[in-house]
Amino acid sequence: MRTSRAVAWSATVVLGGLLALAPGASARTLIGTGGEVRSVASDDGTVHLVYRSRSGTDELVRYCRVAPGTETCAQSTTFDLNDAGRLEADVVRDPGTGKVHVLLDVIYFGGQTRAPGYPTNGLYDLISTQPDAAGATFATPKRVAPNNENSWEGAVHGPGAFEVSSLSAISGLKLAIGTTDGSGSATLDMNTGSQLPGVLYDSDVVLGEGRVPLVGGHGDGGYRWRAHKGDGSTVRDIANWRPGKLLPGSFDGTAHLAGNGIAPPVLVYREQVGGTDWRAVVRRYDAAGDAFGAPTTLNDDDNTLRLRPFLDGASNVHALFTSNSPAYRGSATTALVYTASATGETWPRTGIVLDTDTSTDDPTFAAGTDGRGLAAWSRPAGNGSSVDDEVYATRLGGPGVGFPADPPPAATPGPGATPTPVPADPACVKTVTLGVAKVLSSGCFKAGSGATLTTTQPFLLNGLTVDPKGVAVTVDSGKRTLKTAAATTVRLGTITLAKGAVTWTFPASGTFTFPAPFDLDKAGYGASLLGLKVTGDATLSLTDGKSVLKAYLQLPVPFSDTSAAVDFRGDNQAGLHLDQLDAKVGPSVTMGLGFKNMTLSYTSDPPTWTGHVEWKPPVPGLDAIGAFDGDVTIVDGAISRIHVGVQFPTPGRILYPPLVYLRYGGFELQLKPDLAFTGEVIAGAGPVVGEYQTVMIGRPFDDKGTVRLSLGSPLTVAAKGPVYVLGFKLGQGYFTYTYPGDVAFGANAKIGDCSVAGAQVSFDGYVHVAKDFAFNAAGAGSACVGGTDILQAEAVVSSKGIAACGSVGVEPFVISGGAGHFWGSDDVESMWGFCDVQAYKVGPPPGSSLRQADGTQRFVVTSGLRQLNVVATGATGVPAFTLTGPDGRTVTTPATGGSRGEGFLTAGDPRARTQGVSLARPAAGTWTLTPSAGSPAVAKLETFRDAPAVRVGGSVRRARRGRTLRYAVRPIPGQVVTFYESGDGVLHRIGTAKGATGTLRFTPVAGRGGTRTVTAIVEQGGLPRDRVTLGRFTVPRPARPATPRRLRASRTAATLTVRWSPGARARRQTVRVALSDGRRLVYDRGPRVRTLRIGGLRAAVTGRVSVQGVRADGAPGRRASTTVRAYRRPGKPRR
């Protein structure tokens, strides 16, 4: 069963002349068949109605529009919910867009047919496609919340844009906020911390002054409520709500809230005076004290039932109630009665009877900005079903008549008759025009002398809230002036602009800009809006009922040195328009960390700042990279997300010319534990061959890695994921780019497969980013050949390829083997031509040829070989054969796969059509290769023997200029030895060995200090064979940039000029400017820049300036700082 009806709360206001209670209601008009009618009004007085109905077994909701001044429903639309088990409906209106929202709460039981567009239980929102439902067409239903325990309530605007909310009141109050039924929605338990315990009836959610939400309901012990703090923080966090409160007492039958977002909400209920004496009372909510004021009697009738309050846009309080008092009902059972008050403080002693014997459903009332209202209700059809009742409506209100404080008694009119008019009360004025300033009071202005009016109650002026704090203020419509007392405060939303006595005179037309700015940084001024501080010297302009406040938002970490310019807009219809907020940091200002040109817009689902930002690595020398486009999100005053997503065609966006490129990036800013981006990436280093660079994390464009971009000193891009070398996937690894140009990488690499030749190794190394692009790495793991595992393999990676080699067997029969791969090749090489072997040319026995007619081949092996590899290439496939030695030793290869025995190892490779045999310590003499029956013919025969051990030695010594490397190398045919300097973020190719001994002179690469290692990479047959460490030396850490000198800040009336002498060793300079007008500016400048000018200053603006040098790797130096003083005209003494 429904515990309370849905309520629409919108921040519309009344503009115009005197509002009055209508002298009487016209005869009621039949709207249709149904019940549970709800309504909302547009500014022009158009009323939007929804009510439940039925067609056969189908549950229907009918919508229609009632034009201003009429009682006829037109522009109808029907929503068919089939046979939904439970259905409730409401209608609300977004004052910002004028869109009408029809809300349907649907529950299915058992096997009921699901209506199209309503597949599951929940609250659905149907939004009109045009303002005020012109054409009566609505968008596809959108599920905005789950069902809330058989009870739900109205709509919440804000803070900012329109949002639909549902309120449960079964086990404490639960408020679900959100325009989507997903991550954007939030459910607040108002009983958190035992604040609102128990079952609460007649629950409501309304908007108070400044559109601050208030929820409440009555239960055991009295009326309980809870309000948001109204400090500009998000309503979606229960921590931003005040503690629950209790108004003790017995609330019999009904208790409801009403609000309009402008005036303090009202609470109406029945209370017991004594014995059987009851009365209907009104209490105003006081936001400052978080309490309800003293009760005011609305009606002395002992029999007031189902009492409902309504606030229109001019803050007049209307009420509908049912009474079974004979004075109203006559001979009927009950009567539906209407009454109203301009302030809620004084009420007519009698109300207007609209109808008798109405249904038990709550009636509804809605009014336009001219105060003309429409009341609607239902009458029983006599069959016990509310959806078969009859819905009626009648017009009420209109200008020309006031709300009397104590009108004379009038004869009770009959149903449908016109009551006797009550006298006007010209003493209450709601609206005043002061030229471009439009005033709307939440209470009444009282007439003074001439054209003056006074009030002690808060009022709106072009959306500004002027609060006299109970002390009279005066407006003069003739002189267009406003005079306030010392206690007065002026706010736009939660932003405090002024306190104390002021006298403002407004022009008749055009735009009025206040001559002096409002200092929002003074204690007690400004505000924190959704977690961001509103700061600076704000300028305020008024134009024809609207206001614009130009101020600044202090941005959160890591941009706290920067502020964003923002225009706050207001009017008397909605107060502060948070849903129209835009903030911007211009492209000429660098926000730090490489960010600039940020634009932000407020959105409400959830309350966030979202927008765009440009970014490029904040490193000198990378200007060619250009800017990346990103998205930024700020929630509750903190950066929630910065995402930079980019994809580039071959070769990609350059990071270091010409060899390090970014192919794809999807970065997320991470603030903790340190400042970094994380996300997805495809990045590469080295020359481009087709779609591939030499070393890449990820493959274009289907295999991405994860990346971490550290924005500290130095800038680093660390990617993890699949490692590719010229398109060949090694495995999972990492790729780290460190400015100014070196790349460290490593992988858990897997090449080939064990049936032929393969390896699994882990390695770490560096990429040398220069014209002679090179890289090397060393590691360890396992290899395998022909199904035989080689468990302890060493791996060497170079610019030519990767090789993993180890040994298998027991002395004296030990065989070296493994696998290798040349970058750019599609094949994995087996061990036959490398892994400590070298080419070995054999000949036939004396007086004989190598190849016989039957395919047999004979060759002579010399003495002293530790290992002999025989590789036969088949003409059409893998050949099979038997090798027979002079000592009678035989090895027979299988037709497929590999084999292993004492002192030998075989493996066939179908891709290369090769069969290989490795023999440990072969006997000297003639060996015979005999093909197996049916085997493909041997087209080619190659042999390799054990190579001499690698011997590379050397030493590194300090020289007058740099370092000297002396080396000694054992020469081996086909061997190449290359020397490198490596260290933290450094890989530098020193040179190549020329001859057995030699000397190479080199200058250590500039970069981070620390230990440097000199290594030799030994390549044999094109593949790396060994990596030998020759020596180490230490490079001192580079000095930080010197502090800039002679920093000065000079002023003209409108310009600030900053001059300084740059510090030594700076590759760029960061200039930070903080001004008292709210601007927080950061500029990146070149190493030789000495001057900066900033315009648009007022003479009174002060501030501070700092200049700081930044090293090539991003390390900052010490700051120089100075004060910016206000401009003083020549000849004027300084105070």
Q: What percent of the chain has pLDDT over 90?
A: 32
Q: Could you tell me which of 1049, 1086, 1048, 1054 has the C-alpha nearest to residue 1067?
A: 1086
CA 459 to chain centre: 37
Calculate the average pLDDT of the chain.
80
Tell me the longest C-alpha to C-alpha distance in the chain: 146
More confident residue, 474 or 167: 474
- Report the C-alpha gap between 34 and 37 in whole angstroms: 8
- How far apart CA 203 and CA 216 sit, in angstroms, is 5
pLDDT for residue 8 is more than 50: no
Average confidence (pLDDT) over 680-697: 60
Distance CA 344, CA 265 (A): 10
Single-letter amino acid code for the residue at 237: D
Q: With H, G, I as helix, E, B as strand and everything else as coil, classify residue 832.
A: helix
Cα distance between residue 505 and residue 475, in whole Å: 10
- pLDDT of amino acid 6: 31
Name the DSSP class of 138: B
d(CA 86, CA 76): 23
User: So what's the architecture of 837-946 in CATH?
Assistant: Sandwich (2.60)
Within 8 A by CB and 6+ apart from 585, the residues are 555, 562, 563, 564, 565, 591, 596, 597, 598, 599
Torsion of CA 554, 557, 558, 560, to 10 degrees: 30
Tokens 């009697």 map to which residue?
297
For the segment 13-22, the average pLDDT, to the nearest whole number, is 29
Q: How many CB atoms lie within 10 A of CB 409?
A: 9
Top CATH class, 29-396: mainly beta
What's the distance, Cα to Cα, between the start and end of the chain in Å?
73
pLDDT in tens, 757-797: 777 777 776 665 554 555 666 777 787 777 777 767 777 77
**DSSP state at residue 508:** S
Candidate from 401-415, 534-548, 916-930, 1103-1117 with smallest mean pLDDT: 401-415
**Average pLDDT for 938-958:** 91
* In the chain, domain spans: 29-396, 429-580, 581-740, 837-946, 1045-1124
Per-residue pLDDT of 849-877, as tens digits, reads 778 888 899 999 999 999 999 999 999 99
pTM, 2 dp: 0.65
The answer to whether 130 touches 48, Cβ cutoff 8 Å, is: no
Lowest model confidence (mean pLDDT) among 125-139, 579-593, 740-754, 862-876: 740-754
580, pLDDT greater than 90: no
Could you tell me if 286 and 265 are in contact, meaning their C-beta atoms sit under 8 angstroms apart? no
Question: Can you give the three-state secondary structure of 344-398, one letter per residue?
Answer: CCCCCCCCEEEEECCCCCCCEEEECCCCCEEEEEEECCCCCCHHHCEEEEEEECC
Q: Is the pLDDT of residue 229 over 80?
A: yes
Q: What are phi and psi of 636, to 5 degrees?
A: 50, 40
pLDDT higher than 60, residue 1092: yes
Q: What is the pLDDT of residues 587-604, one digit of tens each?
A: 777 776 678 888 888 776
Q: What single-letter DSSP state applies at residue 949?
A: P
Q: Which CATH class is domain 1045-1124?
A: mainly beta
How much is the average pLDDT of 175-179?
A: 70
Residue 526 has pLDDT above 90, yes or no: no
Q: Round to whole Å and give the CA distance between 1073 and 588.
A: 13
Angle at 313 between CA 307 and CA 316, to 5 degrees: 50
Q: Report the distance separating Cα 280 and Cα 291, nearest Å.
A: 19
242 within 8 A of 229, measured Cβ to Cβ: yes
Closest by Cα among 1109, 1040, 1132, 1119 to 1074:
1119
- Tell me: cis bond preceding 701? Omega within 30 of 0 counts: yes
Q: Pairing mode, if any, of strands 1010-1020 and 975-983?
A: antiparallel
Residue 831 three-state SS: helix
Q: Give 10's pLDDT tier (boundaries 50, 70, 90).
A: very low
Cis geometry, peptide bond prior to residue 295 (ω within 30 degrees of 0): no
Burial bucket for residue 304 (CB in 10 Å: 0-12, 13-18, 19+): buried
**What does DSSP assign to residue 1132?**
P
Region at 833 (left for phi over 0; alpha for psi -120 to 50; beta for the rest): alpha
Burial label for 713, CB within 10 Å (0-12, 13-18, 19+), is: middle
Q: What CA–CA distance (Å, rounded) separates 636 from 234? A: 7
- At 631, is the pLDDT very low, low, confident or very high (cuts 50, 70, 90)? confident
Tokens 């971490």 correspond to 708
Q: What is the mean pLDDT of residues 828-842?
A: 73
User: What is the SS3 string spanning 427-446?
Assistant: CCEEEEEECCEEEEEEEEEE
pLDDT of 824 = 60
Q: Is the pLDDT of residue 483 over 90?
A: yes
Highest mean pLDDT among 99-103, 277-281, 527-531, 777-781: 99-103
pLDDT digits 0-9 by tens, 367-423: 877 777 899 999 987 766 666 789 999 988 644 343 333 344 444 445 554 444 434
